[in-house]
Structure 1
Amino acid sequence: MKKTIAITAAAAAMLAVSPAAAQSTDGTADRAGTMQAKVLMTGVLPDGEIDTVNVDAIGVPAGTQTTASDNVVPTLAIEYFLTNNLSIETICCVTSHTVSVNAGALDGAELVENALLLPATVTAKAHADLGPIKPYIGAGVAYFIWLDQDVAADAAGLGATDVNLSDEFGAVLQAGVDIPLGDSGFGISLDAKRYFIDTTATFYAGSATALETEHNLDPWVVSGGVTFRF
C-alpha cells in the first residue's frame, strides 16, 4: 500500500508539469477533443518472484523461488485528448504466462500454466511538442484480471489439484513517444510501462489449501506500432 501511495504521489508531480507545454510549438493542428487509436506489438515481461509464503502444507524446499514467463501479444490502445497536451488512454490485450521454479531443489518445475491475464489499465498522459517528435509521460491505475489458470504437471505431482491467482489493483507509470507521419493522422508510437502490482497464488489439494504464496508481478510492458488520430 505504501508503494502505491508513493507512486501515485510521483505521478501527480509528473502530471503537474503539463501546463508548461500547453501550446504546440510546431504549428500542428489542435488535438483537443480528438482520439488516437494505436495498434501495437507488445512485450509483457513480468517478474513473478515469491514475496511471502502464507501457507505451506506440502513442505516446499527452502530456497525455492519462482519466475513468470515473458510473452509477446498484439495490443489495441485508445486515447482521448482532453487538451493539446493532456490525454487519457486505455489498453486492451490478453496475455498468457507460465509460472515456474528458477531457484532451489525444484528448479525447472512448472507450477502454473495457461495463466491468461487481462491487464485493465487507464493512464493520464502529459505530452510535449518537440517539432515532429511528441514525447509523453503518464501514470495511472490497473486491475489485473486472471481469466484462467491451470495447475502445471509438476505441481500436480506435488499433490495440487487446483490453483487460483488473485485479481489485484495496482499502479502504473508510462513514458513514450508519438511520431506523426505527415498530416494524414497516421504515425508510429513507442511506449514503455512499468506496473507495480502483485498476486496471491493459492494451490489446493482437494478442498484444502496446500500452498499460498504472494508474488511480485511488477511487469515491464514495452510496445511499438502504428497510430491513427481522428
Structure 2
Amino acid sequence: MKKFAVPALVAALTMGAAVMPAHAEKAAGDLLVRGRVIYVQPDESSSLKLGTTAIAGKAAVDSSVVPELDFSYFFTDNLAAELILGTTHHNVAAKGSPLGASVDLGDVWLLPPTLTLQYHFNPKGKISPYVGAGVNYTIFYGDDPGAAKGISYDNAFGLAAQAGVDIELNDKWSLNFDVKKIWLDTDVKVNAGLASPVNAKVDIDPWIFGVGVGYRF
C-alpha cells in the first residue's frame, strides 16, 4: 500500500483545497519554519558477502521516532525550497546469516540533511497541499558494533520525494502533515573476527511520516 500513499494523499488534498475559500497565506519571500515529530520506517533490502563470496542473510534496521526541524523559503507563491534537518538512531542486526539466526550489530546514528524543491498547489488557501523532490546526504556516526568486533558505514547521497499539506490555524501558524521517501544505499563492513570481513550492500530506503506545526515569517 505504500506505493499508493503519496499519490492518494496529494489527490485528496488537492481536491479538498479546490473547494476551500481563498485566504492570505504563503507568498514569495516568506520563510516557513516547521517543527515535526517524525516516524522513520526503513524499507531495507541487502546482500551479504564474506570477503568476495556471497552468503545468506540480510541486514535489519529498526524504526525510530525523533523530532525534526525544517525551513521552507518561497521563491514564488507556489515554488519553495525546503531544508530538512534531524538525526535518527537505529538498531542494526544481521539475520539468517552463517554467523547466526540473529546477530546484534549494535546501533548507529544517521544525520540525513535533505534539500527538496516543492510545488504548493494552493498557497493562498487555508489548506495548501504540496509535492517535492530533491537530494539527501546521509552521514553515519556514533556507531556501536554490538556483538561484532568493529563496523563501518559509508556516507552516501540519495534521492528524496515528498508530499504533504499545511493547514492554516491563523495568519502565522499552521498544522503540517508530511510523507517522505528517501532512496539511500550504504556499504557496510563488519569485522566479525573471521579471516575476511563481512561486506553488506544495504538499501535502507526509509519512509518518513511526520506531523507538526509551522510558523511563517
Q: TM-score range by the shorter chain?
A: 0.7 to 0.9
Q: What does residue 3 of structure 2 align with?
A: none
Query: Identical aligned pairs, as a percentage?
Result: 32
Structure-2 residue corresponding to 1:75:
68
Which one of 134, 137, 150 corresponds to residue 140 of structure 1?
134
Please report how far the alpha carbon of residue 205 of structure 1 lies from its aligned counterpart in structure 2 after TM superposition: 5.8
1:188 to 161, 175, 196: 175
1:198 corresponds to 2:188 = no
- Superimposed CA distance per residue, residues 10-64 of structure 1 (whole angstroms, 9 cap, x where no aligned partner): xxxxxxxxxxxxxxx71415610010110110111113331x33x404988x531
- Cα shift at 1:120: 1.2
Aligned to 1:108: 102
Tell me how large the CA RMSD over aligned residues is: 2.7
Partner residue, 2:31:
35
Q: Does the CA contact (< 8 Å) of 1:66 and 1:103 recur in 2?
A: no
Counterpart of 1:163 (choices 151, 154, 157) is 151
Unaligned residue ranges in structure 1 (runs of 5+): 1-24
Query: 1:103/1:47 Cα in 2 relative to 1: closer, same or farther (>3 Å)?
Result: farther
Which structure 2 residue ranges, 5 or more long, are not aligned? 1-20
Separation in 1, partners of 2:51, 2:23 = 66
**2:197 match: secondary structure:** strand
Aligned mates of 2:52, 2:145 — CA distance in 1: 15
Task: Please give the TM-score of this superposition, normalised by the length of structure 1.
Answer: 0.78
8 Å contact from structure 2 (residues 25, 126) kept in 1: no
The 8 Å contact of residues 117 and 132 in structure 2, kept in 1 or not, is answered as yes
Give how far 1:132 is off: 1.6
